[in-house]
Amino acid sequence: MFQSKLFLRLFFTYILVIASYMILCISFLFYENNQINEIQEKRISEIQLDAVGNTMEQRIATAQNIVQNLSYSTTMKQLYISERTGEQLDSYALFSIQSEMKSALITGNRSIYQIVLFVDGSNKAYSGGGVIALTDSYVPLGESLPYVLVDTVGNAFQIDGTKRYSFNTEYLLYCDAYSYQNGSDIGTMCIMFDLKRLGNDLKDVLEEGYSARIRYLEEDIFCQGEMEGEVCVRESDLMPGLFYEIYVPENMGAEVNRYFYFTLLGIVVISAVFLALAYAVSRRYYMPIDHLEQMVSSGQDSCSDEMEKIIRGIQDLIGEKNEYREKMLTITPYARTGMLHSMIAGNLAKESVNIFLDENYLDLIKPYYIVSVVNFAFDGKPCLKEEEYRRKTEELFHTITEMFSTDEIHIVYYFRDSYNVFLITNFETEQRGDDLFYQIHKYVSTAAEKDYCHVTMGVDVLRDDIGELKEACGGAFRALDGILTDGRGTVYFLEDMGGKTNHYYFPVNFREKLKHCLLKQDMVEIHKLLFDIYKTNLDIAGSPEMYRALVDEFHLTVIKTLREITELNTVHLNIKKFEGLATLQDIFDYYDAALLSVMDALRDQGRQDDTRLEEDIAEYIDSHYCDADLSMQSLTDRFNVSNKYLSLLCKERFGVTYLQYVQTKRIRKAAELLRDKQLSLTEVGVMCGYTNQLTFRRNFKSVMGVNPSVYQENQES
């Protein structure tokens, strides 16, 4: 056989095609590997940069909140007034200021070491630990506020001769102007962050090999690791001039794609299989020619015998071809019984599909066919019941197969599910037949119009090998992805899906903005965020794969944001991923409504938390009103609320002030104890929380109308 030039030409033609395919695949594999490495490296670098930025941004946001809260504090107003009027503060005012700053320190985060307030022209500084005496009066340094730096407080504020540990230790300093309710500045607020804690936080978020640097006004603030490699930079959203840098090592993307060599080995193996198939196909197609050559070259019989052998051989070949065509027509009963769907899904018993797996059948028959899928989408729920709807749909497609089938065209159908029906259209010749699909779509749409149903068709490319039936069904469904951008109610062809971009737009800071909007209950801003992503990507006119990838990243980012919010609240937040065929607008409308429900859940949880806090405070007062240490200050420290909040709570809940309520509770308890003849007035007063007997007698008479001694005598008599 290898001596035949015809066989060698046929065989080496296949070898050339296989070699070209192998070279093309390997080249594409190398290119794709480099692309994946670059994209993955860029994505990891962006994540690292966001993590470093968030670590520092949390500290800046905490510091800004502390400065704002103290500037608007009514307690700190006393300090502002004393500095303006020149009056000295009494001990109680100093204690209140110290408590206010200590409370601000506690409500910050654990990385804050201390808060110090320097007042212009004063030789005192104020902190949560008390008043700090300075050797000289404080003079503003002339720096533009706010600003950040790493230094000791002594060096930063030019304080000489201080031996305080906190003033001689390096911290990350955030400095801002102190002014009461946006009045004129009277001092500088300095918030000291622990450098070791900052370094540990950066080390926790940085991957191995990455380095980070924080700069403010072109000066280095903090560095983590060695500053080598490609640099990625981002400016702070909270503080202009503050930049975060990430240094990416040059070899970070080298091992991103771990399956490169497995894929390369797969290409080689597939090429070897194709080479074996090339030999089998060449041999098979050469056999009829070899058979004719043998018949002609036999030369032993008469001429008429030779002609009879040739004619008989040609008849055998024609009969063989017709036999395969008859096998192709037997797809119809398989489609009607559902066996064709099982063959495509790969879950039909092997002995049941031998006819489809027969080597001769798959190799020699070359029918032209196109697979299309008809999708039904209702406005709301279907009007018909499931059984009636299925029966009506089967009748419709039975009519279609009879109406549109001809001698040259043969159509069969089967149901993938209740809302998706496959049509397999066989052509005698190599023709596309686009008009046929538009006619079928128009007929189905007209029949389903009164049921408020949208009919959309996805059409695969023309194929000539029944062995690709499963891939053809997948291609028909991929064509339906045109619904994403162009909507329902038309026909989409798979070949029209190519040539579009795969790079979508997604904001880098979307996660922080979404979290901020959810916590602030700002639904209008959420509408704007989602519309920006939707409109920008719609204008790109990308491929369906691009929009699927966009939706995947959007959903993942939303879930991560909700997990962060869940850590700050007791309510569990989650949004299910949107599934099924839909337009891009439908998908974003779904997430818009889902985020609205999340905000409602957060709002309800906030109300529940407030109600629970009020119940806890009232229960605590009722349980401890006889404690001598009970006071509004102890309650504010315990429940982390303000005096004003406690006063309003008592007014709304008890109808009286806090002092009136506690005084009444204590005196009524004292009256109950005075009925016991074994207890003295002093013992009763102490048991009811009074350390001063004069106060006890005065309050008792105010509530009961008589002195406690008179009340006790009346009880004895």
CB-facing half-sphere around the CA of 296: CA atoms within 13 A: 7
Higher pLDDT, 698 or 36: 698
Cα–Cα distance for residue pair 318/315, rounded to 1 Å: 5
Query: Which amino acid is present at 527?
Result: H
pLDDT digits over 226-270, tens only? Answer: 888 888 998 998 888 899 998 888 765 555 456 677 788 888 888
The whole-number pLDDT of residue 358 equals 43
71, 77 Cβ separation under 8 angstroms: no
Considering only CA atoms, which of 504, 510, 496, 509 is closest in space to residue 536? Answer: 504
Angle between helices 386-404 and 434-448 (to 10 degrees): 150
Residue 390 has pLDDT above 50, yes or no: yes
Residue 329 has pLDDT above 80, yes or no: no
Residue 667 has pLDDT above 80, yes or no: yes
Considering only CA atoms, which of 94, 50, 175 is closest in space to residue 515? Answer: 50
* Highest mean pLDDT: which range of 140-144, 495-499, 513-517, 576-580: 513-517
Cα–Cα distance for residue pair 558/605, rounded to 1 Å: 20
Task: Give me the percent of the chain exceeding a pLDDT of 70.
Answer: 79
The whole-number pLDDT of residue 604 equals 66
Average pLDDT of the residues of the chain = 78
User: Taking the complete model, does pTM exceed 0.95, yes or no?
Assistant: no
Q: What is the mean pLDDT of residues 410-428?
A: 82
The whole-number pLDDT of residue 128 equals 81
Residue 386 has pLDDT above 80, yes or no: no
pLDDT digits over 475-530, tens only? Answer: 888 888 888 777 888 888 886 555 566 688 888 888 888 888 888 878 888 888 88
Task: Give me the percent of the chain exceeding a pLDDT of 90.
Answer: 5
433 SS3 class: coil
Strand partners, 377: 454
Residue 332 has pLDDT above 60, yes or no: no
Cα–Cα distance for residue pair 266/25, rounded to 1 Å: 11
For the chain, how are helix, strand and coil distributed in percent, rounded to 5?
A: 60, 15, 25
Residue 236 neighbours by CB under 8 Å, 6+ apart: 53, 56, 57, 60, 242, 243, 244
pLDDT bin (cut points 50, 70, 90) of residue 361 is: very low
pLDDT bin (cut points 50, 70, 90) of residue 39 is: confident
pLDDT digits over 620-663, tens only? Answer: 888 988 998 888 888 888 888 888 888 888 888 888 888 889 99
pLDDT digits over 160-210, tens only? Answer: 767 777 788 899 999 998 887 656 778 899 999 988 888 888 888 888 888
The whole-number pLDDT of residue 321 equals 46
pLDDT bin (cut points 50, 70, 90) of residue 363 is: very low
